[in-house]
Chain A
């Protein structure tokens, strides 16, 4: 995979597909809240505020047009979570899907974990393309035959039928979180996973639902002394004893489960000293980390805070090795962003397959890619206007101040209601899924 955009050998991104309703009147239940490719990239799952999961499957490669990558079509749709009511606390529990994580495929069926604020569920998605026919005691429509009319016996056989994709909940992991779950992460041992809320991290075994181990607890004895919360956590991609969690103070802690049962003491603390010249009312808010992701290699860590993306080397704790400004022009607008609540938006970030490029979302349906190797970045837009089949996306530019050039957009004309919080990159290919409020855009690199 080459670079991020531009000419020459660089990747040029083309529109491939858009999923979701076209009309501007967005139903709240349709707001996409999470996007995740499966380990092979063949499946793409989205979760929405209404508790629904929609899975898209990549169609098999078209033999007559091998250079044109195939499209993603709806494979399965199911209601994962329903709204619930906690009678003890008089609180409604939202059905919004906060995170989806795929399990690696072990057999014909696919498995994924989906979570709302309180409950994690393991779903099995399986295909049925044949059914038994020729029962002796039943008609084909299911009605029972009169036994006296049965004169011969036959063995039922499987006959092909139209493909049916079934999703069934295999495990429900409930009642383990007092606060709102913000992350789940499957361990590389493929047997355990962790779930994280604001103050605690629990370790589960995929087969066991009635208990979990608490491995991190930062709840202070006196809640008045609370100064930070956990914002995200993830297992190391190949070291099954290692995980990291990020905090609202902008720090990341790496923990080793071999050290002790309770990982309150971190093995490493990644923290960059604050730049005093940037101090403001809102410094704490913008330094809060909204997402943390290991690189595929496991060597690097990426964190996203409100204005930037940082890459950390696991071997260096005192500062990130790379910092990319996502939308620095917003630094002077923090007060307005506080007023309209945008400052609380939690942007996610992702790596491409070979860890050379990272991607994250912004406002005005813009998303940004940073090529670490080539030290280049590009801003692209997910919009209906640039949605003609295979049309190449034009790089966008925001004018921070001064004279606005042609084709540039001024900061004041940015639409802060159009935010891209969730993006995903295919594990091997240059295919990306970008979620706007209620639409899922799929872009691919331009075929040669």
Chain B
């Protein structure tokens, strides 16, 4: 599932990586912006993949029935620090406007993610250094999630991290071992695909194995 599919780039890439629906997975993507939904549909069509699309705020309307069912959630949220009144406006700015410390929308998404994720579910989320990713990780630890920065990348303008979250009963003990109870199949496929992605490649990338 993707929250905030925008152009459709990420959900389409994810489906292509995982073999789309052929391996028995179902994909859903949401966006608040109807134009983003339209473009995502076109992007998916252009690549011969299909995900169910819903024009909604985060996962509004899905939360109660889909609770505990999402095995993989990917989010590239509006993370840019902006004035609070720019958050969630109609138009393209809602794609980046994140309010104070760029956290307004992220902080709305995290409890929803917690509700939707299955026992073995993984969340991958993009953050900026300005979003205070370590604080996000500490907050998620209190909800029973282990976390790891899986990719770090600095451009001229942004210092980005992709954080992976997963439920872990023994967070303290197994912090260094990563996922120990993932089942074979879709999730292992995701893990190995991410390690193999060549377009991340460059000397300042720090990938950890998991």
Same complex: no
